[in-house]
Amino acid sequence: MLKDKKILLIISGGIAAYKTLELIRLIRKNNGTVQCILTEGGSQFVTPLSVSSLSGNQVYSDLWSLNDESDMGHIRLSRDNDLIVVAPASADIMAKMAHGMANDLATTTLLAANKPVLLAPGMNPEMWENTATQVNITTLKERGVMFTGPNNGEMACGETGLGRMSEPEEIFTAITDFFFEKPLKGYTALVTSGPTYEPLDPVRFLGNRSSGKQGYAIATALRNAGANVTLITGPTNLPDPQGMTITNIQTANDMLKACTNTLPVNIAICAAAVSDWCVDAPSAQKIKKTDDNNIPKLRLKQTPDILKMISAHPKNRPELVIGFAAETQNLEKNAKAKLKKKGCDWIIANEVGIDENGIEKTFGSDENQIYFITQDQNEKWNRASKDAIAQKLVQQIINYMDKNNGS
Ligand code: C5P
C-alpha cells in the first residue's frame, strides 16, 4: 500500500514512544520505507537498536555526527523523504518548531525541511491544555502542519484527559490519508466477523473455530480505502481495529439485530461463521450432571440467516452483498449453489479442515486460499495472507462501485 513512499519519522521524548515502534512495523508491513530520527528525549524511552532493527535503517540522532553530517544529514533527511511524521510530538518539540529553534538534529531537520509534516502529539493533559502549547499548535496549523490526535483517555502518569498519542493504526491512517485519495470515501460498509456463541446454559455454548481474522482484515482494508465501517463481531481474541464502529455480539440473534440496526449501508460483507443452530430453550441455570448418568438432550432450532435477510431486504438492500462459504467438500459447486440460495452478489469460498501436514487450512490461520465467485466469474486466488486477500477483495469492491456509480 505504501510502496515507493518514504517517511521520515521523528521520535521525540514521551512515554508513547514505545507505540511508535508499532507504527514503524505497520509502515514496513505495508511496503513503505521509514528512516528515523531519535531525539535525546526519545532515546530515554526506546533504544536506537530497536528503532533501527524495526525500520531496517540506520537511526539518526546526533546533529554533530561527522559521518552523518559530512553529507549534510539534516538537509538530506527531508529531501530524501516524502513526508515527515513526528510521533510522539512532545510539547517541547512543538514549541521549538513554532519558534524556529534548531538546536538538535530533529529540530534542525524540521526547520530545514521542504516536505509536509504530520504531528502526533502525546503529553500530559495539563501540558496539552496549557495556553503556551495551544498557541504553538495554532501557529503550526496556520503554517500547514497536519495533526492527528491526541486522544482522550488515561495517561501513563495516572491522570485522565486529552493528551494520549493517537494509536499507531490511527497515525498510519493519517499517513495513508495524506498519500492517497480514498476511493471508498462516502460509502458505508457493514462487516460481520468471528464465530457466534449459542448458549446451552449460562456457562456452556455451541460455537465454532472461526478466529475472526479474515473479517477484521476486510474491515481494516475497507477503512483504509475510506469507507465508514461497522464491524459486527462475535467473540475473538483480536484487538479492536481503530477508526471504525465495533459492535460486539454473542449469538446469531444478536448479530441479526445489530445488522438490522446498521442498515442501510452501501456494502455488506458477511464473513462471520454464524452458528446454523441454537439451543431451543437454553437453561437459565447451569445444567447439573446427575448421578444416574442422565445425559441431557439438546433440542436445536435454526438460527436466522443474516446474509439471506440482508440480501432480500425489501427497503434497505445494500448495493453489494458478499457472503462467505466455508466448505469441506465440493467447494466450487456448493459455493455457486449458495450464491443463488442466499441471493447475494458474490461468494468468497474457502476450504476448511486440516491439510496434509495436519495444519488448519483457514480457521485461525494467518493465510487463506479462496475462490471468488460471482454470477459470471469463478476465480481461484492464490494462497496469501488474510490481509492480502482483504486488500484484493476491497480492490474488487472499489472497481464494482466505480462501475455502478458511473465514475
Ligand atoms: O449457510 P452457510 O453457513 O453455509 O453460509 C455461509 C454464509 O452465510 C456466510 O457468509 C455467513 O456469514 C452467512 N450466514 C449468516 N447467517 C447464518 C448462517 C450463515 O449470515 N445463520
Q: Highest mean pLDDT range out of 174-183, 187-196, 242-251?
A: 187-196
Q: What is the pLDDT of residue 261?
A: 98
Ligand 1 neighbourhood includes 344 CB (under 6 angstroms): no
Angle at Cα 322 formed by Cα 319 and Cα 328, nearest 5°? 165
Q: What is the pLDDT of residue 339?
A: 95
Q: What is the mean pLDDT of residues 311-336?
A: 92
| 284-300 pLDDT, tens digit each | 999 988 878 788 889 99
End-to-end CA distance of the chain: 22
Q: What is the mean pLDDT of residues 231-240?
A: 95
Catalytic-role residue among 36, 157, 270, 278:
157
Q: What is the pLDDT of residue 160?
A: 82
Ligand 1 neighbourhood includes 258 CB (under 6 angstroms): no
Q: Is 157 a catalytic residue?
A: yes
User: Which residue has the CA at smallest separation from atom 9 of ligand 1?
Assistant: 324
Q: Which of 13-22, 104-113, 142-151, 328-337 has the lowest mean pLDDT?
A: 328-337
Give the whole-number percent of the chain exceeding pLDDT 70.
95
> Band of the pLDDT at 215, cuts 50, 70, 90?
very high
pTM to 2 decimal places:
0.73
**Domains annotated on the chain, with CATH:** 6-179 (3.40.50.1950), 188-404 (3.40.50.10300)
Q: Which of 88-92, 182-186, 359-363 has the lowest mean pLDDT?
A: 359-363
Residue 246: pLDDT over 70: yes
Cα–Cα dist 232/250, whole Å: 10
Tally the residues of the chain.
Answer: 407
| 67-77 pLDDT, tens digit each | 666 566 678 88
Contact 222, 192 (CB under 8 A): no
User: Which residue has the CA at smallest separation from atom 4 of ligand 1?
Assistant: 325
Cα–Cα dist 231/239, whole Å: 13
Give the whole-number percent of the chain exceeding pLDDT 90.
74
Q: What is the pLDDT of residue 35?
A: 96
Q: What is the mean pLDDT of residues 218-225?
A: 93
User: Which residue has the CA at smallest separation from atom 6 of ligand 1?
Assistant: 325
DSSP-assigned letters across all residues of 95-149:
HHHHTT---SHHHHHHHT--S-EEEEE---HHHHHSHHHHHHHHHHHHTT-EE--
Cα–Cα dist 8/6, whole Å: 7
